[in-house]
């Protein structure tokens, strides 16, 4: 393998969680360990506290200036770690789902008090689609949380994920004394500490019957720990790394991100076991990360919100070979060769122009409208990476032009915004109505604001009575055409011309599925 050394030192992952579980805090601790930042509080939360467009726009504007926060690259123990940021707000969940297509593994943060929450479930569904390896961090052990055995059971059941604890907590809340590392058999004693440091109070206790345990945590807790560990050892045994890598078993760590406790154990294990850039499926064949020839795909597009400079940054995940500055690469969809004179990397949180990048890396490409999500660059071969899905939106509204003089601007604006993946655009058959599908109300506000401010096009939205979009395929084209004709009001095509059924309710949807056995109803659409 030509680039073996580079590939084997890279790990690309994302931290995912329900808002407020501690993703930002954990990110910050990771960066402190990696030396990428020096002080706590340096990582801005991307949380939108209020339901307010202005709040969102302000965050986006700041992020536009410092796009660096979208990808954080740092080194730890000779490993180059690419940590991809994901939006916290549920209305932008789709952006998170797409980012998950660009990582090789994830760390899932679960709040020990709240347990499994809504977003956790959805995010795990996406991980499961790709068998993404998951490490679970159970956070906020300094608070009175759920019983730890109950919590593990809840996570296993709700997320359909087999767990394997690698550390075990001694109490929680004000009685939290620390964690026992089941793997290297040492005891970490808890002290509140908000700085990253290596000097955790750690005692090696290979044999739990050793009296030093009683000395450190007291007789009662020592006895409980012995009992727990015996039980856990009996149930779980040793972690099989290949099960983790196959996405079947998730190692679990307990800790408190804000106190920087239990974070280092997890990061060290992450370095030891998390996958290096993996092979990827395409429409033509499996592309191995170790191939000599370059390939990569766009998973995110970030607009510069300044109307005077309507350039965008397209985020490309390198999948194989070597990306080089100023070298011509093949843009598969446009069937044209393009080169990039200013590709960015995100090392140490500043935007730097880079000369080359390797599998696992994420680079920012200056874009004047050439890209949409899912686009592939290669050294000439024609294929698309698969598994970059669109999910059904949950809210549908008709886009109504308020200024006929600005029709062109509106068209252009909505096309560009949907290319960025801000929303999905459907065109109703027959009526030619433009229907925008989003996950949350906030997205509509953002679209309206951006169309006006960036494109000068005023629009409004009219609510449509749909609840889900299903992509349709059939081996019998005639049946599909007939169906679309009969169900004209509920039929549309997506931006790529694929037929879509817009269902008013679950009942209607189920009825249509039953009545049309020759037609397949898909709940996600692969972009390619």
Is 23 annotated in a binding site? The answer is yes
164: contact with ligand G4P by CB under 6 A: no
105 within 8 A of 133, measured Cβ to Cβ: yes
Is 140 annotated in a binding site? The answer is yes
Among positions 6-45, residues that touch ligand G4P (CB under 6 A) are: 17, 19-25, 45
178: contact with ligand G4P by CB under 6 A: no
CA within 13 Å, CB half, 131:
12
Q: Minimum Å distance from CB 299 to ligand G4P?
A: 21
Q: Minimum Å distance from CB 194 to ligand G4P?
A: 10
- DSSP conformation class of 435: E
504 within 8 A of 467, measured Cβ to Cβ: yes
Is 89 annotated in a binding site? The answer is yes
- Give the residue with the Cβ less far from ligand G4P, 36 or 354: 36
136: contact with ligand G4P by CB under 6 A: no
Is 19 annotated in a binding site? The answer is yes
- Give the residue with the Cβ less far from ligand G4P, 177 or 372: 177
Q: Minimum Å distance from CB 7 to ligand G4P?
A: 30
CA distances from 180 to 141, 214, 300, 396 (A): 13, 13, 40, 50
258: contact with ligand G4P by CB under 6 A: yes
Contact pattern from residue 63 through residue 102 relative to ligand G4P, giving x for each residue in contact according to CB under 6 A and a dash for the rest: -------------------------x--------------
Number of residues near ligand G4P (by CB under 6 A)? 19
Q: Give backbone dihedrals phi and psi of 8, rounded to 5 degrees, phi first.
A: -70, -10
Alpha carbon 222 to chain centroid distance? Answer: 39
Long-range contacts of 215-224 (CB under 8 A, 24+ apart): 216/187, 216/189, 217/170, 217/177, 217/178, 217/187, 217/189, 221/170, 221/171, 221/177, 224/170
- DSSP conformation class of 347: B
Q: Is 32 helix (H, G, I), strand (E, B) or coil?
A: helix
47: contact with ligand G4P by CB under 6 A: yes
Is 142 annotated in a binding site? The answer is yes
Task: Out of 256, 304, 376, 418, point to the residue binding ligand G4P (CB under 6 A).
Answer: 256
- Give the residue with the Cβ less far from ligand G4P, 258 or 519: 258
CA within 13 Å, CB half, 197:
10
**The dihedral sign for the CA sequence 236, 125, 99, 245:** positive
Q: How many residues does the chain have?
A: 528
Binding-site residues? 17-24, 85-89, 139-142
Residues making contact with ligand G4P (CB under 6 A): 17, 19-25, 45, 47, 88, 139-140, 142-143, 256-259
Binding-site residues for GTP? 17-24, 85-89, 139-142
């Amino acid at each position: 393998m030509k680039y073996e050394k580079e590939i084997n030192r890279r790990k690309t992952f994302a931290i995912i969680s329900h808002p407020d579980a501690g993703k930002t805090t954990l990110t910050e601790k990771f960066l402190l360990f990696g030396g990428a930042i020096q002080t706590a509080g340096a990582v801005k939360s991307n949380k939108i506290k209020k339901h307010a467009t202005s709040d969102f726009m302000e965050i986006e504007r700041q992020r536009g200036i410092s796009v660096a926060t979208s990808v954080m690259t740092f080194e730890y123990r000779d490993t180059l770690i690419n940590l991809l940021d994901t939006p916290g707000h549920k209305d932008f969940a789709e952006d998170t789902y797409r980012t998950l297509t660009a990582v090789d593994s994830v760390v899932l943060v679960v709040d020990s008090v709240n347990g499994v929450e809504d977003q956790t479930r959805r995010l795990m569904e996406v991980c499961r689609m790709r068998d993404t390896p998951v490490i679970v961090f159970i956070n906020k052990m300094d608070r009175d949380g759920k019983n730890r055995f109950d919590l593990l059971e809840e996570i296993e059941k709700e997320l359909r994920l087999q767990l394997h604890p690698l550390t075990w907590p001694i109490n929680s809340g004000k009685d939290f004394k620390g964690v026992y590392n089941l793997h290297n058999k040492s005891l970490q004693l808890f002290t509140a500490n908000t700085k990253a440091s290596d000097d955790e109070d750690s005692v090696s206790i290979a044999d739990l019957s050793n009296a030093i345990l009683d000395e450190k945590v007291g007789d009662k807790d020592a006895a409980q720990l012995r009992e727990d560990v015996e039980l856990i050892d009996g149930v779980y045994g040793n972690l099989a790394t290949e099960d983790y890598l196959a996405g079947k078993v998730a190692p679990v760590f307990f800790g408190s991100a804000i106190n920087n406790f239990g974070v280092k154990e997890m990061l060290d294990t992450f370095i030891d076991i998390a996958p290096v850039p993996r092979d990827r499926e395409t429409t033509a064949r499996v592309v191995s990360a170790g191939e000599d020839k370059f390939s990569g795909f766009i998973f995110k597009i970030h607009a510069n919100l300044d109307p005077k400079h309507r350039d965008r940054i397209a985020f490309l995940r390198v999948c194989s070979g070597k990306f080089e500055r100023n070298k011509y690469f093949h843009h598969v969809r446009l069937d044209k060769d393009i080169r990039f004179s200013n590709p960015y990397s995100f090392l140490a949180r500043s935007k730097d122009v880079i000369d080359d990048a390797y599998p696992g890396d994420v680079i920012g490409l200056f874009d004047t409208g050439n890209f949409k999500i899912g686009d592939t660059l290669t050294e000439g071969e024609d294929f698309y990476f698969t598994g970059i899905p669109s999910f059904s939106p949950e809210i549908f509204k008709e886009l109504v032009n308020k200024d006929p003089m600005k029709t062109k601007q509106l068209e252009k604006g909505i096309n560009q915004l949907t290319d960025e993946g801000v929303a999905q655009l459907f065109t109703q058959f027959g009526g030619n109505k433009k229907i925008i599908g989003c996950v949350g109300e906030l997205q509509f506000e953002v679209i309206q604001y951006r169309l006006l401010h960036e494109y000068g096009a005023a629009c409004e939205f009219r609510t449509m009575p749909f609840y889900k979009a299903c992509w349709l395929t059939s081996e019998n084209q005639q049946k599909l055409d007939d169906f679309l004709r009969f169900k004209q009001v509920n039929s549309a095509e997506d931006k790529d011309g694929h037929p879509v059924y817009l269902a008013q309710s679950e009942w209607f949807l189920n009825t249509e599925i039953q009545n049309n056995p020759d037609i397949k109803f898909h709940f996600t659409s692969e972009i390619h």
